[in-house]
Amino acid sequence: MEELNIPLVRLPNSAGLDLPQRATLESAGMDLLAAIDSSIVIDPGTHRVIPTGISIELPEGYEAQVRPRSGLAAKHGITILNSPGTIDPDYRGEIGAIIINLGNSPFEIMRGMRIAQLVVSKFVNFYWDEMENLGTTNRGEGGFGSTGTGKDE
């Protein structure tokens, strides 16, 4: 497996918190922690940007994605509003997680709680090559369920 060292700065609001880490050795992402001074309650249907207390320096050609944690989503309806939130390699500010409560009950976020996960991926720069027509495929212009079972999905 390829490995990558990413420079990271702990910000003052992360004092005493662990660095992001994997839950298991083969986890694709590292859990981000809430670097907040006091608990924050997110009511159903509302969202908040939760600081994580870190900033990173990604190498050229890499992005980081802030993604939801499956347990929070399944148990409480807590997810990331702009999932995945993209961290570009030229961004040097604090990573924040835009948490939304899609559940039915208020949800309390406490200092140090694992609120999201961060996954790092390679990307390529792409450019447009404007054409009059595109190549043909069996699927053609069919989309939005066109490859499904034919039943209402």
Per the prediction, the chain carries an average pLDDT of 93
d(CA 31, CA 118) in angstroms, rounded, equals: 6
Tell me which CATH homologous superfamily contains domain 8-122. Deoxyuridine triphosphatase (dUTPase) (2.70.40.10)
Q: Provide the pLDDT for residue 141.
A: 83
Contacts of 46 (CB under 8 A, 6+ apart): 100, 101
Question: Rounded mean pLDDT of 68-90?
Answer: 95
Please give the backbone phi and psi of residue 55, each rounded to the nearest 5 degrees, phi first.
Answer: -130, 155
For the stretch 62-74, pLDDT in tens is 999 999 999 999 9
Angle at 120 between CA 8 and CA 113, to 5 degrees: 65
Is 71 buried (19+), middle (13-18) or exposed (0-12) by CB count in 10 A? exposed
Q: Provide the pLDDT for residue 145.
A: 72
Q: Provide the pLDDT for residue 135.
A: 93
Q: Provide the pLDDT for residue 149.
A: 60
Sorted by where each begins, the domain ranges of the chain are 8-122
d(CA 58, CA 144) in angstroms, rounded, equals: 34
For the stretch 1-45, pLDDT in tens is 789 999 999 999 999 999 999 999 999 999 999 999 999 999 999
Query: In this predicted model, which residue has the larger pLDDT, 19 or 153?
Result: 19
Query: 147 pLDDT exceeds 90?
Result: no
Q: What is the value of pTM for the model shown? A: 0.86
Query: 153 pLDDT exceeds 80?
Result: no
d(CA 60, CA 15) in angstroms, rounded, equals: 29
